[in-house]
Chain A
Amino acid sequence: MPVAELLIAGILLGGLYALMACGLNLVFGVMKVINFAHGDLMAVGALTTVSLVAGLKFPYFVALVAVPLLCALIGLFMQWLVIRRISDGPMIMSLLATFALSTILVNVAILLWGGAPRGLPTVLSGSVAMLGQDIPLSRLVSFAVAMAATLGVWWFLQSTRIGKSIRSVSQAPELAVISGISIDRVRYITFALGAAMAGLAGVLLAPTFASDPNLGARFGIKAFAVIIVGGMGSYPGAMLAALFMGVLEVFAGYAYGQVFGSATVFLAMLVVLVVRPRGLFGIGARA
């Protein structure tokens, strides 16, 4: 088993999971809503990137900026249209509502782009020799940008005023209201930020993986497994768990085949749900 190669591949994959999972976790922390449409925002991001770069011949870095903004707008719209009306209601309703949003996004995406996979083979092609391995440039860049963005958002939450109000709404909403934070505004910002992170993940995976509207169901869905393993609401937990799950998936995939690689991710999630429901690094979860 080529351990070094697999380890590197796993960590590189984990970077994308981290970006996805942290966005999802952020939204859950503030809204207590599990956004089933998170992965589909990523798919929309990836497909938009393909259209911009391969279709309209924009440079890749334009997509890197424009697509997250677009996704943030979609996120604001979703928050305005649906989420703000159900986030304080029964959990079952918000689960069903975001499940419905997910279906709508996927199928609108199929109408717009068709169901066939699309790629960006020409962008960031080539590879870099590192640690005795040839690593594809696209993967390296996507990992670096994803980790930078994830850590950047963390810094934003820890150090800026808006970030601090997001954290206080997430940890002690009653207190936040008393201290004059507008929960409404924080929720809009959070949902937009989460959506932008999903969109960025889409941009980053477009050069490496073939993108199609069902990408969310295949790839994005693993972010749920990541945040369960890392602990719902725990930002560093999600980051660590993402890298761990990336490595786990790559090793399991190598040993037992691609299909089992994905299954292992969910198995790990189920084990954690049963054995330690608050997650490996997380806070209380049997809400």
Chain B
Amino acid sequence: MRAGILLAIGVGLAAVLPLFAGSYAMSFMVNTFMFVALAYSWNLIGGYAGYTHFGQVAFFGLGAYVGALSIAAGVHWILAALASGLAASLCAVVLGGVMLRLKGPFFAIGMFGIARVFESLAMGLDNITQGGTGLYLAVVNLKHIYYVLGGIVLAMILITWRLDNSRLGLQLLSIREDETAAAALGVRTTLLKVGTFVASAFVPGVVGALYGCYLGFVDPTNAFAPQTELTVIAMVLLGGMGTVFGPLVGAGLMSGVNEILWARFPQVYLAIVGVIILIAVLYMPRGIVNFAQRRGWRWVPVARGHLRRMADRAKGSAKP
């Protein structure tokens, strides 16, 4: 309930923000929204299903190129973004069946390799992508991008909330905890993880296309930057993997750090991101949200509370 009210207030503020904010603040918000959306997508496969994914940026970059090329062919930018999401998901269908047979580090390295192959393709297929020169496209009105991204972020939060309180979410977590045992207990692990992988590729595709619309420019280095990957993972890790609000908290914090440091000292910024990940891994591997939930901090909504509430009710009704 409390979380619902907070969310409603947040949505309200975000909706009226463009009436007051200048272009600098809008840029900041657009950037933050992009990362929040990416973090929520990563959280599905990396946080819930437990597959450490170092190749999300492959879908992001693919989306950026599909978007830019569609717009160049005369498609409206919103449709182009949708097409990019579909292209990314389609690509994930093909990759998922193959790559998700790999576990742990092999999946991680494999996906990392795929991102590098995609980058090379973008660089090498220069009759389509203009190689390292990049593609230019008309910049879309910042406010429009802002609202579209805001909608995506809201949808991702609600979807994750729903997932977190559903059987499907529990089954994904069971894959993360012990895939063999989950399969032996009747969980359809292959179907679920490939499905999650495909779903988690859609938003990066869309966001990639929107990123192109925002910059007005797409090139291999920007589209497939490993630091995008790293930042997204750091956000989810810091906030709390496999939680509803972890990606939001993590992305909010990291964007703040980013804002303070990135513009002036990019190298210091990235080194600090590295240090933050290290500290999180060593001292708070479950992230801020989990940390708070375990300690029962009042302002944090309890994880997966609906089962517990249901159980309390069932017990109450059983009593005469």
Contacts and interface: CB of A to CB of B under 8 A. Distances in A.
A128 B259 CA distance: 54
A34 interface: yes
B104 A260 contact: no
A277 B54 CA distance: 18
A228 B106 contact: yes
Interface stretch (B62-70, B142-150, B265-273): B265-273
Interface string A252-285: 0000110110110011011001100100000001
Given A224-B113, A266-B116, A93 B281 contact: yes
A100 B98 contact: no
Contacts of B227: 103
A285 B106 contact: yes
Contacts of B124: 256-257, 259-260, 263
B50 interface: yes
A107 B274 contact: yes
A34 B105 contact: yes
B109 interface: yes
> In which size bucket is the chain A interface?
35 or more
Interface in B4-44: none
A82 B270 CA distance: 18
B116 A96 contact: no
B96 to A, nearest CB: 12
Contacts, number: 124
A273 B50 CA distance: 20
B121 interface: yes
Interface in B43-58: 50, 52, 54
A86 B124 CA distance: 39
Contacts of B275: 100, 104
A259 B123 contact: yes
A172 interface: no
Given A95-B52, A270-B113, A110 B267 contact: yes
Interface in B85-102: 98-99, 101-102
Contacts of A69: none
B201 interface: no
B209 interface: no
B269 to A, nearest CB: 8
B274 A103 contact: yes
A91 interface: yes
Contacts of A97: 277-278, 281-282
A41 to B, nearest CB: 15
Most chain-A Cβ atoms within 10 A of its Cβ — which of B117, B233, B234, B270?
B117
B120 interface: yes
A44 to B, nearest CB: 14
A286 B179 CA distance: 13
A91 B50 CA distance: 10
Contacts of A85: 282
B106 A107 contact: no
Given A99-B230, A107-B268, A270-B114, A228 B109 contact: yes
Nearest to A110: B267
A273 B110 contact: yes
A96 B282 contact: no
A48 to B, nearest CB: 18
A75 to B, nearest CB: 16
Contact of B106 (A93, A111, A256, A277): A277
A85 B270 CA distance: 23
Interface in A77-101: 82, 85-86, 89-93, 95-97, 99-101
Interface string A37-75: 000000000000000000000000000000000000000
A217 interface: yes
A111 B267 contact: yes
Contacts of B281: 86, 93, 96-97, 100
Given A224-B109, A262-B116, A270-B113, A287 B271 contact: no
A102 B274 CA distance: 8
B52 A259 contact: no
A103 B234 CA distance: 12
B117 A267 contact: yes
Contacts of B123: 259
Contact of A96 (B102, B117, B237, B267): B237
Contacts of A89: 285
Contacts of B101: 274, 277, 286
B98 A82 contact: no
Interface string A90-129: 1111011101111110111011000000000000000000
A274 B120 contact: no
A103 B285 CA distance: 19
Given A34-B109, A103-B230, A225-B113, 18 more contacts: A92-B52, A95-B52, A95-B105, A96-B233, A96-B237, A97-B282, A100-B234, A100-B273, A228-B109, A259-B124, A260-B120, A263-B116, A263-B120, A263-B124, A266-B120, A267-B117, A269-B110, A285-B106
6 contacts: A103-B271, A107-B271, A262-B116, A263-B116, A263-B124, A277-B101
